[in-house]
Amino acid sequence: MKHVQKVLLVNAGTDGDVSSIANDGTFPALGVVSLATVLLRDHPYLDVIALDGQITPMPEIEQLIRDFEPDVLGLSALGTSYLNTLRLAEAGKNAGAVTILGNDQAAAMARQILAHRECVDYVCAADVGEFALSAFVDALDGERPVTSVPGLLYRTDEGVVHNRLPEIPAPLVDIGAGAMVGNVLDAIPVPDRSLMPAANWERYRQNYLARYGSLHDDEEVTGVTTINRARGCARVKHPCHFCGIADLNLRFSSPEVFWHDVRAAQQQVAATIFYEAFDSMSSSPRWVERLVQARPKDIGDPRFFVYTQAAETTERIVDLYLRLGVYRVNMGLESGDTRMLKLLKGPRDSLENNRRACALFKEAGLPIYGSLVLGGPGEDHESLDNTVAFARWLIDNEMMAALEAQPLYPDFGALTGRWMMNPDLARATAKDKGFEILDDALLDSMPEKYGRGDIVDFDEISMDWCRIFSRVGWDELVEATRTIRGYADRHGTVSGSARISDSRLA
């Protein structure tokens, strides 16, 4: 192959039949920008374009593929955007590009994708893909063997190979409980947000104001951006059963690089609103305190939207959030029933902790972006009614900036998905946790039904999950979803439901 000269990186937009979530199109897909930044740092001769399919329409991206004729087409694929990803991969192959997929769907279904999709040449399963993609370009240029590219999966005569190699070129020190120190994420350069078209950034701002402008009556929002200077979660050894994040080990940037990233975003896209995509900010109060202590005096008034957890919410973390500049939190509340919370998340979670955390945030003036998961293992009518009542309580007490609800979808990267693929594991877990397998024959058929293909119908697998694990029927879960979303909409709260067909909620 000729040397790589042109690279197009695209975050595929949500498939047309999938219901939107409350944040769709309001915050940028930072991953493709970060990938482009590292590529240009390591290969300054490249012509690199980064696009977000949530903003740029599909026909425009397809036309760009034809006109630009990239040597490499990199696609960020989620389960909710997989059909669009395949459509773009086909367009890329028709234009002569080498195609490579990354992100959650690609990592979870890599072998199935390579078995079924000739339009996909490679899959990158690395959690931190920047350095893998740069090494991949070197490999295409013949400067290193493809076997040295971290996290890469590809076809060979002997079958699919997976390069299980370290992703980040920096030393780590394990301090226990899954925590890693050494400011390892400092190795990821501050993204050059100017690599995404300026029109995209204005569209993010307009979308954000349309949904959440009421939170900023007294302040001007000149730009919104994503930032991701820490990763992981304190639940690394005992993750939430529906969490599909591949690597929950705690990793951080230094406070200096965090604030450098903030300042760069202010200068590049006039950002005043920052969505820190750290999987759980409350998992590391010490890091938040370091950020507060290192905050530059001349940084202005950046405002942060962060992930947090009810079980970890204390007066201390709320105070740190306020000092940092947090104005809104994203909190997975999941259920309004203590029994279900313990089954879905763990022994520290309860309705009491959910209510307490919500009350602390309301007292601090911090609205919540909340989410609820319906139909967990052992869900019954009483627990579902408790969750619907809890949703109304949240909305009535004006705690919600947005509220999502949906029937449980068993992600193959999560414990719930692994139960579907391993009936013996499901039965052992049910015995240990105290819930019941309701349809043994259906459970036994799941590995054959879903273990070979690369396309999963969200509604169908959610229905199958429900028949096996939930005592409430799937149609009743959808009706409860409608009830929660309708109540939110009538009371001026933004609502949404990912991974469920829009037609089901009509």
Q: Mean pLDDT across the stretch 9-27? A: 75
CA–CA separation, 208 and 26 (whole Å)? 5
pLDDT at residue 7 tops 90: yes
Residue range 83-92: mean pLDDT, rounded: 97
Q: What is the DSSP string of 3-72?
A: PP-EEEEEEPPPPTTBPPPTTTTTS--HHHHHHHHHHHHH-TT-EEEEEETTTS-HHHHHHHHHHH--SE
Each residue's pLDDT tens digit, 450-500: 998 898 888 999 999 999 999 999 999 999 999 999 999 999 888 865 555
On whether the CB atoms of residues 302 and 266 are closer than 8 A, the answer is yes
Element at 1 (helix H, strand E): none
Q: At residue 459, what are phi and psi to the nearest 5 degrees?
A: -60, -45
CA distance 290 to 254: 9
SS3 at position 415? helix
Instruction: Write the CA distances from 272 to 40, 202, 401, 452, integer angstroms.
Output: 26, 13, 18, 46
Instruction: Name the least confident of 131-135, 195-199, 298-302.
Output: 195-199
What contacts 329, CB < 8 A, 6 or more positions away? Answer: 305, 306, 307, 308, 321, 361, 366, 367, 368, 369
How high is the pLDDT of residue 18? 60
Prediction pTM value:
0.90
**Amino acid identity, position 383:** S
- pLDDT for 354 equals 97
| Token couple for 506 | 């009509």
Q: Which contiguous run of DSSP H or E holds residue 90?
A: helix 82-94
Better-scored residue on pLDDT, 504 or 5: 5
Rounded CA-CA distance 122/113 in Å is: 9
Query: 3-class SS at 78?
Result: coil
Q: How far apart are CA 86 and CA 66, in angstroms?
A: 16
Q: What is the pLDDT of residue 235?
A: 86
Confidence of residue 23 (pLDDT cuts 50, 70, 90): low
The β-bridge partners of 98 are 72
- Output the six-digit token pair for 185: 């994420």
Q: Give the dihedral sign, CA 495/496/502/504.
A: negative
Predicted pLDDT of residue 505: 52
Can you give the pLDDT at residue 501? 54
Q: What is the C-alpha to C-alpha distance for residues 313 and 8, in angstroms, rounded to an integer?
A: 41
Q: In Å, how far are 100, 143, 240, 403, 503 from 12, measured between CA atoms?
A: 13, 30, 27, 24, 21
155 vs 217, which has greater pLDDT?
Answer: 155
Task: Please provide the average confidence, as pLDDT, over all residues in the chain.
Answer: 91
- pLDDT-derived band at 243 (thresholds 50, 70, 90) equals confident
Q: Is the pLDDT of residue 410 over 60?
A: yes
What percentage of the chain exceeds 70 in pLDDT?
A: 93
pLDDT for position 104: 84
Between 377 and 175, name the one with better pLDDT.
377
pLDDT above 80 for 230: yes
Confidence label for 245 from pLDDT (cuts 50, 70 and 90): confident
- Res 58: pLDDT: 94
Give the model's pLDDT for residue 495.
80
What letter would DSSP give residue 2?
P
Distance CA(85)–CA(78), nearest Å, equals: 9
Report the pLDDT value the prediction gives residue 497, as an integer from 0 to 100: 57
Residues 104-145 have pLDDT tens digits of: 889 889 999 999 999 999 999 998 899 999 999 999 999 999
Question: What pLDDT was estimated at residue 499?
Answer: 52
Q: Write out pLDDT tens, residues 246-255.
A: 778 888 999 9
Q: How far is CA 302 from CA 26, 319, 360, in A?
A: 17, 16, 22
DSSP class per residue in 288-309: HHHHHHH--TTS---EEEEEE-
Q: Which of 33-47, 163-177, 396-410 has the least mean pLDDT?
A: 163-177
Residue 168: which residues within 8 A CB-CB, separation 6 or more? 128, 131, 184, 185, 187, 188
Q: Do 337 and 350 meet the contact criterion of CB atoms below 8 Å apart? A: no
Mean pLDDT is lowest, of 7-21, 153-167, 258-272, 312-326, for 7-21
pLDDT greater than 90 at residue 403: yes
Q: Is the pLDDT of residue 176 over 70?
A: no
Count of CA atoms in the C-beta half-sphere (13 A) of 265: 33
Split at pLDDT 50, 70, 90, the class of 217 is: confident
pLDDT at 172 over 70: no
Evaluate if residue 419 carries a pLDDT over 90: yes
pLDDT at residue 57, as a whole number: 92
CA distance 389 to 484: 9
Q: Looking up tokens 């195609």, which residue turns up?
A: 99
Q: How far apart are CA 388 and CA 493, in angstroms?
A: 15
Place of tokens 């992930």: 307
